[in-house]
Amino acid sequence: MKVYKVSKPNLCREWEEAKRYPEFLRLGKRSWIDLVKKGKPLQLKGVLDINNTDAGTPESFELLEEVKKRRALEQLNSGVFELPILALYPDGKKELIAGNTRLTLMVSRLNKQVAWVFEVPSYILNF
């Protein structure tokens, strides 16, 4: 069985995904990166309670964007997998900020559920 390593997400690139969320857009790129850096890799207990992902139906990987599928498969074949980014909100909501294709592939091919997880402080939602 092949052993896979995980790598931290590329936060500069993933800003393009993060800025779709008003709370992160208000923070700005530099502050968002500083916040997410406080996170850590975690084994997830499941994906069905996570918003913004297809990982709950792993067979949907085949329906995702070709460019993103190719990139995720290249990572899988290299043995080093960049972690998707998951935000935990104060109300318990879990939102996949970036890496839907990677997480869906991970679940469908590796039966693994790992993400870079960070907490969203309530003050960010109120300014």
Hey, how many other C-beta atoms are within 10 angstroms of the C-beta on 80? 12
pTM: 0.95
Predicted local distance difference test score (pLDDT) of residue 127: 66
Render the burial of 97-119: b for 16+ CB within 10 Å, e for the rest.
bbbbbbbbbbbbeeeebbbbbbe
Render the burial of 21-53: b for 16+ CB within 10 Å, e for the rest.
bebbeebeeeebeebbeebeeeebeebeebebb
Share of the chain above pLDDT 90, in %: 90
H or E element: which one contains 96?
A: strand 94-98
Q: How many CA atoms lie within 13 A of 10 on its CB side?
A: 5
Average pLDDT over residues 43-55: 96
* pLDDT tens by residue, 54-79: 999 999 999 999 999 999 999 999 99
Q: Whole-number mean pLDDT of the chain? A: 95
Tell me how far apart the alpha carbons of residues 35 and 38 are, in angstroms, rounded to a whole number: 6
Share of the chain above pLDDT 70, in %: 98
